[in-house]
Amino acid sequence: QKYLGDDYVAAVVAEWASSNFGVQIDAADLRGLRSIEDLEDYIKAQARAEAETNIGVKKVEFMGEEPESSADWDTKGLSSWAMSEYRVNVSQAQLRKMTADELEDRLKEAAIEQIEKRDVSLAMLEKAG
């Protein structure tokens, strides 16, 4: 039943997107997307939106509600998180020189760059096939 169901491929693709892009996609949302290009566009759009939301949440977590002063930031945690999540190597000293908006912009650019670099088509075909 699981493997012959109409949503099996969509479920596999949604699971793959979760593992490889960290984005939760409902298999039903993939219905009607028949080409790899459409799937790739959809997955990457969801990943970009998720990254922007995630960066906003983490900004508050590491910088506080009103991040005017970098002296109050958890620069060590923020630096480690940026590297592990988006492969952005920003030292604590560099962080202290940035404004909160500059840092957020840099993280968003890095996240989008990482998302766009990923090749969805071949990997997804191998997994779903």
Tens digits of residue pLDDT in 73-91? 898 998 899 888 888 888 8
Query: According to the model, what pLDDT value does residue 67 have?
Result: 77
Q: Is 38 helix (H, G, I), strand (E, B) or coil?
A: helix
**Which of the four pLDDT bands, split at 50, 70 and 90, describes residue 46?**
very high
- Judged on CB neighbours under 10 Å (0-12, 13-18, 19+), 63 is buried
Q: Quick one: tokens of 126?
A: 């191998």
Residue 129: pLDDT band (50, 70, 90) is low
Among the listed residues 100, 93, 61, 99, the one whose alpha carbon sits nearest the alpha carbon of residue 77: 61
pLDDT at residue number 96: 84
Over 70: is that where the pLDDT of 122 sits? no
Mean pLDDT for all residues in the chain: 83
